[in-house]
Structure 1
Amino acid sequence: MRTLGIDLAAGPRTTAAAVVVWEGSTAVVEPPRLRCTDEDLLGLLGGLQPGDRAGVDCPFGWPIPFVEAVSAHAAGRPWPGRGTDSTTHRATLRLRRTDLLTHRALGAGARPPLSVSFDRLGATTARWAHLADALAARGLGVERTGAGSVVEVYPAAARLRWGLGSPRSMEVLLGAAPQLRCDPGVRELYDRSEHAFDALIAALVARAVALGLTALPEGEDRAAAEIEGWIHLPTEGSLPRLFRRSVGGL
C-alpha cells in the first residue's frame, strides 16, 4: 500500500507532500513534493488506489457554532450571542469539538490548538474546501470523519504521541522507526523543510489509520465531526506497530 501525507498551507509556497510505500515490515520514503499546487494535490489524491490512505494536515471544517453565527449574520437574524458578554460568546466560536478533545488527550502541557475561525488557519481550510469540492466533482468525496481514504491529521500531536519530541528531526524519527528506508539525499530534503517533514509524519499517521491505531468519532462526536472534521490521533507509542503486517496484508 501507499500512504500520502500533505502539509497544507493557504498557497503552494509552503505546501508539501510525502509518499511512503509499505512493503511488508519495511517502508520506503519517496522524495518530498514541495510547492504543491492545487493540481499537484488533486493528482496525488486522485491517484489513491484501493487500500491507500492519505493524511492531510488541515482542519476539514469550521466549528458549528461559528458557522451558525456567520449564517445568522448573513441572513440578518439576531446574532447568537445577543444579550451575553461578547468575549465569553466569541470563545464558544473558536474551536471545534475535535480540537478540544485532542488538546485534552495531549495534556495540559500541550500547545493550545489554533482557531480555524479566528486565526490564519481559516485561509488554509478554505483552500481545502476548494480541493475537497474538486475531488467530489470527480466522484471522490471526502468523509470529514475520516471513515474514507482521506483523513485529517495533526503532525505535531502525532509526534508527541510517538515520543519524537521537538524540534523536527529525521535522525530521531529514523532512530525510532529504523524500518523506514530513506536514502541520504532524501533524508536531507526532509530535514531541510519543516513542511516536508510534517507531510511525512502525516503519511505515517495515515498508515496508523489504516491499521486501526486511531479512533473514529462516535455518538455526539461523530455528529459534530461530520460537519467540523475529526483529527485522527495515533495511540501512544504506536509508531513501531506501523511496520507489523496486518491480517489484511497491508
Structure 2
Amino acid sequence: MHVEWVGTIDSTNAELVRRASVAPLADLTVLATTDQTAGRGRLGRAWVAPDGSALAVSIYVAQGSAWLPLLTGLAMTRAVRGLIEPPGATLKWPNDVLIGERKVSGILGEIVGGGAVIGAGLNLGMTEQQLPVPTATSLVIEGADPSGLVERALDRYLTEFVALWEGFVASGLDAEGGLRQAVSDACGTLGREVRVELPGGSVREGIAASIDTDGRLVVRDGSGEFAVAAGDVTHVRVV
C-alpha cells in the first residue's frame, strides 16, 4: 500500500481518477486529506466541510466489483466503532455509515478501466453548527477523543479496508466467502421499513429483507420481493 497525504486538493477521488487515466496505478494506492475543496457525493451532490474537520480518503484498487462500496462501508463502520464508545455505528445500504440515525460517513465509487477508485468522507471534528444537515454527525459530537483523531481514524480505516479487500481478492471476488454475511451483520437497513426512490422517479416502500449475492438490497412489499441495485434508500422513521 502506498499512502500519500496532501495538504489541500479539489477531490481525492477526482485526482486518483485523473492519475489512473494517464498511467497504471498500483493496487491499493491511497490519497488522503482533511482539506478537500470540491468533494462530491452520490448523484453529483457536493460534499463540503471546513478545513481540518473531515477526513477524505480515496483508494485505487486494480479490480472492480459491485461489492466494493459495501466492502468499503463495512471497513468504515468497523473503524468508526473503534473510535466511539459505545461502538454503535451501522452500515446503511449501500454506502453510508450511521451513528444512531445520523450520517457520519459516505462512500463514492468510480470505475476506471479495469479498476476502481473508492472514496470515503468521514466527519471528524465538526461541531453541531458546522454540520451541513441536521441528519449528519461527527466523531467528536459522538464522544470520540479529538487528540490525534485524524491519524487514528485513517489508520483504523485503512487497516480494516486492506484486511477485507485482501480477503475478498483471495476468495476470487466471491462475496459468499464471508463478505456478504459480514456486510449483512453490520447493515442497519435490514429489517427496517424503507422507502426506495428508483431511477425514473418511481417510489416503492417495504421491508429491507436481505442483501443478495450481487450486493443488491432485497425489499419485500405487498407484491412480493424486488431487488434494488441503484436508487436512494431512506429509512422510514417512526414519528
Normalized per residue, the structure richer in helix is 1
The two structures have a TM-score, normalised by structure 1, of: 0.27
| Greater Rg over alpha carbons, structure | 1
The two structures have a TM-score, normalised by structure 2, of: 0.28
Higher relative contact order (CA 8 A, sep 6+): 1
Normalized per residue, the structure richer in strand is 2
